[in-house]
């Protein structure tokens, strides 16, 4: 480490200054002032924000920090759905549009806060009818449709812990998540649509629950006509479950520290990690960041393109914006189907004012050309956002010029499944620097350090850390607290993020990518260990090692090195079979782009595969060089 980064790039990058009106009209007019207020008294700072929300009972203490365990809003009582729904239903937002949804086939559905409230209440009572009580885990494996959000909110209403599984995951990934959480109920749909293809979700669930003893019932939303048959006894129709129940379901009184949801993320070793988020701190953190980072106002139409199955969908499609009382657009929309104008057409048709997407999508748009966005009226846009991987300067400039027409600030937000909320960005009134996410938001103290925790000089590559607890932080890893502690013990007393970063003289932070064996492919977090174990589960594979290979479009591609079992001869058929096998076990996002058959793999004396040697070979560089980049 401690290697000088490209200082020229770090110190000569140009700034973009937002129009003065952004600062004048923003919720937070002066970032520095807000940050100083936080530093002066962190607990008072968060307490004041929390008081903007509705609580059933007050907290005794804002923060109880016993390293590495935090409790926020100690003994405070609340229900997040009361803040996302009831509050608005009883104020001027009663008839405000909460959700506008567009299906891939052009179908449109609109829910006011009152309508959403009604559906959530009834579905919550339906879940109770199935015997679901506070603390039970419910797995949600659905396409991007309003019922997915209704199911999540209904769980939160009765205190059940939802575990949403991305609809693109395969059977093995789904089965693992159902079993690890011991979910009693799985909520799914017959099909999902993606790029004109149908995904047979219900069939995948049928396979995934063969070895899942905890599952008592499967709730099925039937979209297809004529309706698919359901197996009485175990399966029940989504809307039948809502028949004949009481129209109102009293929100369960939750302790601030009760779990709200479990969401799995890839680890650098072993099985995926079930990240636990709790009710109070998560609500406060996502509410505050949604409000001030997107500068969400009453008239905005906000669109987050992330899938609900990822943390961005949880925090910034659902909970945060609804807590603020925003109008949310979402849909079964992909950037390039039916054509590369899809996003821009939707922005025009829906009058989107705030647009939050991923760098991969932006780079794809750069490649297909400006003629696509140029066909549409994008003048409703006010603020642009980016998340999931580094927004490289070229992509920033394109996004700013072609989509934002040189007038919309871009918030490049750095955060993680574990952090629950956005942590580093540039506020809408502040000058932006392409390539740099920005500074810690008020409430967060990041730094860039060496492996001993010593801050590195500006312009020098180091590890990104967070020095203080924050409300939406994860509380543990489900059934594996040791893995939680590791984040805080790798460098004592601070949270080690796992990313490499560089800090400029101005304090802006550039995030460069992972420092470990996690590969970020098109913004999706994939563990080398998961792909390797999927490969090894194939009958003809003896050993496998997986690396990320830099790619201009997707950030990284997955490359696998495979040793076949004795007697197996490498062939193109094997390559196809293995790709298909990983696709079926983990899902399309984890499918290797390239497979190379080898006779042996570089290993340490203790038998650990040295992926960095493979990577160096792949990139044609000296493995010594790369060791400074990888821990
Ligand atoms: O490497 C960082 C990258 O995504 C990782 C977190 O992935 P996940 O938990 O799936 O959450 C993604 C959505 C919040 C981080 O460790 N990452 C996320 N946002 C950025 C980023 N890298 C650079 N710039 C970002 N804005």
Domains and CATH numbers, the chain: 7-79+259-486+494-514 (3.40.50.12780), 82-252 (3.40.50.12780), 518-619 (3.30.300.30)
- Our answer on whether the CB atom of 499 is closer than 6 Å to any ligand 1 atom is yes
Q: What is the crossing angle of helices 146-158 and 113-129, to 10°?
A: 60
Q: What is the pLDDT of residue 6?
A: 55
Atom in ligand 1 nearest the alpha carbon of residue 497? 16
Mean pLDDT of 135-153: 98
The residues that bridge with 499 in the sheet, in sequence order, are 514
Phi, psi of 434 (to 5 degrees): -55, 135
Cβ–ligand 1 contact at 520 (below 6 Å): yes
Task: Give the confidence band of 156 by pLDDT, cuts at 50, 70, 90.
Answer: very high
Kindly state if the Cβ of 305 falls inside 6 Å of ligand 1.
no
- Tokens 């040791």, residue located: 482
CA–centroid distance, residue 238 to ligand 1 (Å)? 34
Task: Note the pLDDT tens digit of each residue in 44-91.
Answer: 999 999 999 999 999 999 999 999 999 999 999 999 999 999 999 999
Q: First CA to last CA across the chain, in angstroms?
A: 8
Q: Find out whether 256 and 280 touch, Cβ atoms under 8 Å.
A: yes
- CA nearest 74: which of 43, 52, 38, 41? 43
| pLDDT tier at 349, thresholds 50, 70, 90 | very high
In this predicted structure, the answer to whether residue 11 has a pLDDT above a threshold of 70 is no
Query: What is the distance in A from the centroid of ligand 1 to the CA of 414?
Result: 6
Helix axes 528-536, 572-585, angle to 10 degrees: 120
Tell me which of 285 and 614 has the higher pLDDT: 285
Question: Does the beta carbon of 184 lie inside 6 Å of ligand 1?
Answer: no
Pocket flag, ligand 1, residue 315 (CB < 6 Å): no
Write the pLDDT tens digit of every residue in 104-119. Answer: 889 999 999 999 999 9
Inter-residue contact 73 to 256 (CB < 8 Å): yes
Tell me the β-bridge partners of 329: 100, 303
Average model confidence (pLDDT) for the chain? 94
Which atom of ligand 1 lies closest to the CA of 511?
23
- pLDDT higher than 90, residue 611: no
From the CB of 416, is ligand 1 less than 6 Å away?
yes
Q: How confident is the model at residue 618 (pLDDT cuts 50, 70, 90)?
A: confident
In short, whether 423's Cβ falls inside 6 Å of ligand 1 is no
CA-proximal residue: ligand 1, atom 4 (nearest): 388
Query: How would residue 9 be classed by pLDDT, with cut points 50, 70 and 90?
Result: low
Q: Which of 139-148, 467-476, 492-501, 598-607 has the lowest mean pLDDT?
A: 598-607
Q: For residue 629, is pLDDT > 60? A: no
Q: What mean pLDDT is predicted for residues 94-113?
A: 96
Residue 630: predicted pLDDT: 45
Residue nearest atom 7 of ligand 1, based on CA coordinates: 416
CB 520, CB 481: distance < 8 Å: no
Q: For ligand 1, is residue 417 a contact (CB within 6 Å)?
A: yes
Which atom of ligand 1 is closest in space to residue 498's alpha carbon?
Answer: 16
Locate the ligand 1 atom nearest the alpha carbon of residue 524 and give its number: 10
Which residue from 502, 550, 522, 513 is spatially nearest to 359, judged by alpha carbons?
522
Whole-angstrom Cα distance, residue 67 to residue 511? 26
Atom 14 (ligand 1) nearest CA = 416
Ligand 1 pocket mutation, candidates 416, 438, 490, 554, criterion most atoms within 8 A of CB: 416
Nearest CA owner, ligand 1 atom 24 = 390
pLDDT number for residue 14? 84
Q: CA 458 to CA 446: how far, in whole Å?
A: 14
- Inter-CA distances, 125 with 86, 118, 189, 207, 252, Å: 16, 11, 19, 28, 12
| pLDDT score, position 340 | 94
Q: 435 — phi, psi (to 5°)?
A: 95, -20
Residue 228 has pLDDT above 80, yes or no: yes
> What per-residue confidence (pLDDT) applies to 625?
58
- Residues near 403 by Cβ (< 8 Å), separated by ≥ 6? 344, 355, 373, 378, 381, 384
Distance (Å) of CA 430 to CA 9, 17, 18, 434:
20, 7, 7, 13
Task: Please work out whether the CB of residue 419 comes within 6 Å of at least one atom of ligand 1.
Answer: no
pLDDT > 80? residue 10: no
pLDDT, mean of residues 259-286:
94
Distance from Cα 523 to the centre of ligand 1, integer Å: 7
Q: Round to whole Å and give the CA distance between 80 and 53.
A: 9
User: Pseudo-torsion of CA 411, 447, 509, 552, nearest 10°?
Assistant: -90
- Would you say residue 25 has pLDDT above 90? yes
Ligand 1 atom closest to Cα of 414?
26
Instruction: Indicate the top mutation candidate among 520, 630, 631 to test ligand 1's pocket, ranked by most ligand atoms within 8 A of CB.
Output: 520
β-strands 69-74, 273-278 pairing:
unpaired
Gap between the Cα atoms of 301 and 350, Å rounded: 8
Could you check whether the bond before residue 113 is cis, i.e. omega within 30 degrees of 0?
no
Residue 624: count other Cβ atoms within 10 Å of its Cβ. Answer: 9
Distance 389 CA to ligand 1 centre (A): 5
pLDDT at residue 245 tops 60: yes
- Kindly state the average pLDDT of the residues 407-431: 98
């Amino acid at each position: 480490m401690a290697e000088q980064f490209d200082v020229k790039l770090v110190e000569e990058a140009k700034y973009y200054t937002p129009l003065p009106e952004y600062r004048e009209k923003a919720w937070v007019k002066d970032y520095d002032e807000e940050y100083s207020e936080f530093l002066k008294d962190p607990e008072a700072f968060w307490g004041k924000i929390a008081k903007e929300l509705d609580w059933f009972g007050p907290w005794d203490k804002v923060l109880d920090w016993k390293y590495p365990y935090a409790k926020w809003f100690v003994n405070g009582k609340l229900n997040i759905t009361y803040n996302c729904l009831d509050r608005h239903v009883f104020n001027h937002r009663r008839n405000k549009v909460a959700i506008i949804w567009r299906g891939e086939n052009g179908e449109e559905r609109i829910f006011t806060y009152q309508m959403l409230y009604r559906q959530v209440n009834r579905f919550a009572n339906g879940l109770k009818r199935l015997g679901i009580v506070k603390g039970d885990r419910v797995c949600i494996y659905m396409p991007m449709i309003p019922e997915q959000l209704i199911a999540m909110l209904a769980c939160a209403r009765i205190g059940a812990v939802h575990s949403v599984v991305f609809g693109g995951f395969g059977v093995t990934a789904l089965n693992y998540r159902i079993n690890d959480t011991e979910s009693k109920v799985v909520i799914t749909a017959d099909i999902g649509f993606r790029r004109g293809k149908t995904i047979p979700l219900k069939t995948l669930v049928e396979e995934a629950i063969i070895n899942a003893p905890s599952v008592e019932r499967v709730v099925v939303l039937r979209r297809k006509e004529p309706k698919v048959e359901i197996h009485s006894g175990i399966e029940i129709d989504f809307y039948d479950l809502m028949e004949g129940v009481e129209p109102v379901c009293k929100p369960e009184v939750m302790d601030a520290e009760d779990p709200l949801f479990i969401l799995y993320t890839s680890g650098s070793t072993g099985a995926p990690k079930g990240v636990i988020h709790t009710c109070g701190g998560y609500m406060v953190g996502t509410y505050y960041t949604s409000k001030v980072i997107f500068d969400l106002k009453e008239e905005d139409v906000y669109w987050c393109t992330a899938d609900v199955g990822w943390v961005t969908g949880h925090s910034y499609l659902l909970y945060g914006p609804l807590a603020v009382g925003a109008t949310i657009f979402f849909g079964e929309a992909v950037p390039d189907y039916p054509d590369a104008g899809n996003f821009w057409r939707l922005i025009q048709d829906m009058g989107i004012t705030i647009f939050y997407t991923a760098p991969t999508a932006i780079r794809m748009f750069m490649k297909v050309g400006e003629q696509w966005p140029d066909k549409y009226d994008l003048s409703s846009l006010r603020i642009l956002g980016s998340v999931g991987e580094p927004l490289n300067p070229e992509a920033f400039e394109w996004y700013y010029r072609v989509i934002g027409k040189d007038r919309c600030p871009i918030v490049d937000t750095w955060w993680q499944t574990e952090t629950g909320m956005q942590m580093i960005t540039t506020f809408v009134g502040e000058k932006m620097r392409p390539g740099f996410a920005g500074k810690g938001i008020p409430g967060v103290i990041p730094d860039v350090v060496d492996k001993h925790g010593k801050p590195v000089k500006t312009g020098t590559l180091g590890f990104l850390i967070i020095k203080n607890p924050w409300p939406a932080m994860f509380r543990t890893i489900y059934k594996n607290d040791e893995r939680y502690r590791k984040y805080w013990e790798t460098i004592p007393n601070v949270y080690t993020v796992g990313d490499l970063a560089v800090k400029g003289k101005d304090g802006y932070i550039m995030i460069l990518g992972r420092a470990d064996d996690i590969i970020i492919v098109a913004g999706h977090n994939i563990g080398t260990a998961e792909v390797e174990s999927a490969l090894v589960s194939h009958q003809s594979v003896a050993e496998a090692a997986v690396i990320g290979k830099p790619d201009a479009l997707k950030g990284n591609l997955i490359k696998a090195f495979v040793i076949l079992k004795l007697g197996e001869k490498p062939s193109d058929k094997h390559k196809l079979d293995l790709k298909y096998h990983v696709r079926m076990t983990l899902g399309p996002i984890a499918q290797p782009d390239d497979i190379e058959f080898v006779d042996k793999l570089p290993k340490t004396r203790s038998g650990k595969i040295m992926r960095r040697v493979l990577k160096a070979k792949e990139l044609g560089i000296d493995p010594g060089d790369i060791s400074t980049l990888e821990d």
